[in-house]
Structures are given as structure tokens and as C-alpha cells.
Amino acid sequence: MSALLTVDDLEVHFTARSFTGRKRVIRAVDGVSLEVAEHEALGIIGESGCGKTTTGRAIVQLEPATGGSMHYRGKDVTHLTGSARRAFNAHVQFVFQDPMSSLNPRMTVADIVAEPLRAYGRWNGRAGRDRVSELLDLVGLPPEFGSRYPHQFSGGQRQRIGIARALALEPEMLVLDEPVSALDVSVQAQVLNLLMSLREAQGLTYVMISHDLDVIRHVTDRVAVMYLGVVVETGPADEVLDDPVHPYTAALVSATPPSSPDEKRARIRLQGELPSASNIPSGCRFRTRCWRADEICATVVPPLSPKGDGNRAAACHHPLDLAAPRLREGIATP
């Protein structure tokens, strides 16, 4: 599969002021490199504050990149403005985490879904209304719901409306920011099944941002694990989640409930808090919480290098052994 999107050393930094008026730089995304193949679903995971949402927002130009580059179908899209940005956003759309806050409460559902068509000059009377009905039907909502307002729907239905709006311009890629985190478990399954069926029917490419590893396993082909603004491990989703190489990934996986009562899994309890993005530790960013850290981890930044047969990569001086039965048979907690 050819690369649809390539992200190289992406940086998104913010400047903030302390109570004393002193400026500090928050390195929310600090050198992320990703490649997303056409028709692929890439998952981005990590704990809150790791920079995964900011990465997704930068991809669709909702946050300006302060460094690095992004290429879409080989074209540089790092700093787009005007008509070039509009053209790019027709191909790459964003689905927000909270459907209620992303939908205008003063607009009917039909107007919300039609808004991208009007903004891009694709509204054409009867054909436009037919397109809105088609989009609502596509996401499993009766077309007659178009006359209602967002507050009249459940959370799952509102998320379907957000997805319908994102599909209005027939994009090639969707960036989905925690699309089911605000929904009940039963509704989550419905929305995830919808996303999977849409991907197959529409030939879509997904970048799925989530802290839920079961969601990532269910929906995505590959996964990128982020910690404190950087990618620390990548690889096929099942392989990474079943047999992690980076200690941080192992800790994330160990925190998920076992899939059956017979499955043995010891919890890896990390020490300390996630460091501030304005005060990054030297060397390996994870070393302040890692039970395998030593002197080299404090001084040398580990590169994201291939592991195993080459389809895996991890940024760690002391990676865990592949194929070792750690997580299912237990691991000594640090």
C-alpha cells in the first residue's frame, strides 16, 4: 500500500505564562513521525497529556505545526492557507470527541450535515437535500430526523450526526479523536461497527486516537504509542498489544482488564507522575518512571529503531524481549 499521509518530525509547541509572568514552552508534540498507508487504519494511543489529540489536530490543520513537515499524497501540506487549505480539508476531515459540543445547537441536523456542502459550493437545491438524506441513512439515522435539533438525540446518535457531517465532502481520510469515549459501552459497539462498515464501503483511511486499547485493537491495523510528545513504539496493533517491546507500552497493556477469568496478568504500576511537557527529562523521556532505566537512559535519547522482523519499532535502550510470555503469565512489577 502506498503512503497517503507522511508526518516527519512534527512539532507543536505552545507558549504559556506562569503566575509570575515567566514564559515557558509547552512541547505538546515534539518530533512525531508517522506514515499512514491508503485504506489503512492507524491507532494512536497513550495516557492523557501525551500529545495524541494535538497530533491529530495538527494533521487536519486545526493546530499550526511549529516544526517538521507533513505530506499528503506526496504534496507538502505543513503550512496551508486559503484555497489550498480548503482543498486539503475536503480530503481530510476530523471527528470530534464530544459530539454535543461540536454540533451547533441552533441548527437542525439537516443544516449541520449540509453546512460543508454549502461552504464548498456543492449545495444544489434538491440534489443537496437528497445528499443530506443519503448521509443520514448512511450512518443509520432516518432522513426525517433532519428537522430535529442536536439536543433531541442521544450521545450515540449525535456522534453519528458528526460522522455524517465529516463524510459530506467524500473525504479520503478521517481523523477520529476519541470518537466513542463519551458513549455507553453498548453504544460504543454500535458506533465502532458503523466506522468499520463505512471504512470498507467508502474505502476510507482512518487515524484513530484513543486511550481505550480494546477499541484500538478492534478497529485499527497498526498502532503508534505516544509518550510525552513522541512516538515510543509502532507496529501491527495485535502484535504491539499482545507482545509490547517498550516498557511503557507494557505498562499500558497491563492496566487493561483481562479478557477472561483464566488469563493471568500482573499489573505494572508506574512510579511518579507524567512529567510536564514544559520540563522534558533528559535522555529517554520515560526513564523517570521506568524500572529498567540506567545511566545511558539519562543521557542518550533512544532512537525509534526496528525490532524483531522489522515491522516493529521502539525507542528504548533496554527493550523487552519479543515473544516472551510476560503479560499473560505475569511480570514482576517494578
More confident position, 327 or 191: 191
Q: Residue 333's pLDDT band (boundaries 50, 70, 90)?
A: very low
CATH of domain 3-242: 3.40.50.300
pLDDT at residue number 17: 81
- Do 331 and 268 contact (CB within 8 A), yes or no? yes
pLDDT of 45 above 80 = yes
In the chain, which residues fall in CATH 3.40.50.300?
A: 3-242
pLDDT of 323 above 60 = no
Average pLDDT of span 58-83: 95
pLDDT of 65 above 70 = yes
CA–CA separation, 244 vs 326, rounded Å?
Answer: 9
Sign of the CA dihedral with 260 first, then 263, 266, and 268 last = negative
What cell does 39 get? 485504506
What cell does 322 get? 519479543
- Do 183 and 160 contact (CB within 8 A), yes or no? no
pLDDT at residue number 324: 56
More confident position, 135 or 323: 135
pLDDT of 325 above 60 = no
Q: Residue 138's pLDDT band (boundaries 50, 70, 90)?
A: very high
pLDDT at residue number 329: 40
- As to burial, measured by CB atoms within 10 angstroms (0-12 exposed, 13-18 middle, 19+ buried), residue 269 is exposed
Name the phi and psi angles at 102, rounded to 5. -100, 0
pTM for the full model? 0.92
pLDDT at residue number 332: 41
pLDDT at residue number 261: 67
Residues in the chain: 334
pLDDT of 272 above 50 = yes
pLDDT of 283 above 90 = yes
Q: Residue 260's pLDDT band (boundaries 50, 70, 90)?
A: low
Read off the pLDDT of residues 181-234 as tens digits, 9 standing for 90 and up: 878 888 889 999 999 999 999 999 999 999 999 999 999 999 999 999 999 999
Alpha helices in 203-271 (DSSP H): 213-219, 237-242, 247-254
pLDDT at residue number 257: 76
pLDDT of 245 above 90 = yes
H or E stretch including 93?
strand 92-95
pLDDT of 330 above 70 = no
In the chain, what is the straight-line distance between the N-terminal and C-terminal CA atoms, in Å?
Answer: 40
Mean confidence (pLDDT) of the chain: 90
What cell does 201 get? 464501503
pLDDT of 297 above 80 = yes
Check residue 48 and report its DSSP letter: T
What cell does 307 get? 525490532
pLDDT at residue number 137: 95
What cell does 30 get? 515534539
